Amino acid sequence: MISEAKALYKTLGSIYCPAIKQDVVFGHHGENHLFFDGHGHRRNEQNIRRRLYLLPLAPNIVKNGKPVKLKETRTIRVRGNIREADFYEIGLSCLNGKFTEFAVVIVRKFPIGPFHYYSIRSKHKRRRK
């Protein structure tokens, strides 16, 4: 499951998002965030499995997600440097197997640089289709 998800992630590259009118880059920050939290600690297996289960929905959410909202602006440390980052949520209700999921992709934007994929999570409980 992990090797399949990593292979899928590497094929994504960048995807144009009409909601923010820019490309969203799928780089190493988002891949790292699938397995580790913001402090560098490995996530528990259930959390990793859930994120990997939702990962195939991410390209569709970025391409078709309509509502975009600024979730928060935080000061974070990246490679020893302190930087400001804006986090945006793009949500979409998607069919995932037999279930309909309302999943949210979180993209991060530094003042200099493109938007990049940071995380995915489900917003509500699943409903059987």
Alpha helices in 13-86 (DSSP H): 28-35, 45-54, 58-64
> Residue 26 corresponds to which tokens in the numbers above?
């799928």
Q: Cα separation of 31 and 13, whole Å?
A: 12
Share of the chain above pLDDT 90, in %: 11
Range of the domain at 104: 2-128
Q: For residue 115, is pLDDT > 90?
A: yes
Question: Using one digit for the tens of pLDDT, what is the confidence trace for 17-69?
Answer: 988 889 999 988 888 888 888 778 898 889 888 888 888 888 999 999 876 77
Q: Cα separation of 105 and 121, whole Å?
A: 7
pTM > 0.75: yes or no: yes
Kindly state the average pLDDT of the residues 5-16: 85
Domain total in the chain? 1
Q: Looking at this protein, which amino acid is placed at residue 85? A: A
Q: For residue 124, is pLDDT > 70?
A: no
Q: Cα separation of 36 and 119, whole Å?
A: 11
Q: Cα separation of 43 and 93, whole Å?
A: 25
Kindly state the average pLDDT of the residues 85-106: 83
Among 39-53, 64-78, 106-120, which stretch is predicted with the lowest mean pLDDT?
64-78
